[in-house]
């Protein structure tokens, strides 16, 4: 399976796939089927990011609940989504630990 990045936690996997251009592209059929199968079976969440130059302009999520389709988004929106996803999928009960701080909860998030 082709993905550009992954975040693997005890309770789930988040896969990142980058796309480029000012308009949401069609996702190649084989890639979409592989990602949809992965997410439908609860084996992971796929987060597509649409980049226009150096800026994120849209995102799309495939998970066990379905396909959101492309929605307008910024880096801040993606940060918020990833942090919420981590809260739901990390097995660490006390999220004040060093791993949580590394994710930027202490405002040290970097692009």
pLDDT along the chain (111 residues), means of 10: 84 93 88 94 94 94 95 95 88 56 52 47
pTM of the model: 0.80
Domain range for 90 is 5-105
CA-CA distance, 81 to 75, in Å (whole number)? 10
Q: Is 20 a domain residue?
A: yes
Q: Is 18 a domain residue?
A: yes
* Pairing, β 45-52 against β 66-67: unpaired
Count CB-CB contacts under 10 A for residue 44.
22
Predicted local distance difference test score (pLDDT) of residue 111: 47
Q: For the chain, how many structural domains are there in total?
A: 1
Q: Is 110 a domain residue?
A: no
């Amino acid at each position: 399976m082709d993905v550009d990045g992954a975040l693997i936690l005890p309770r789930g996997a988040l896969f990142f796939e980058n796309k480029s251009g000012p308009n949401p592209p069609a996702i190649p059929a084989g890639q979409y089927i592989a990602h949809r199968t992965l997410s439908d079976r609860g084996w992971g969440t796929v987060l597509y990011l649409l980049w226009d130059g150096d800026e994120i302009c849209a995102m799309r999520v495939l998970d066990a609940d379905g396909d959101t389709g492309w929605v307008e988004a910024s880096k801040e929106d993606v940060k918020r989504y990833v942090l919420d996803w981590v809260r739901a999928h990390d097995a660490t009960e006390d999220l004040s630990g060093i791993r949580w701080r590394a994710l930027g909860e202490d405002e040290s998030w970097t692009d």
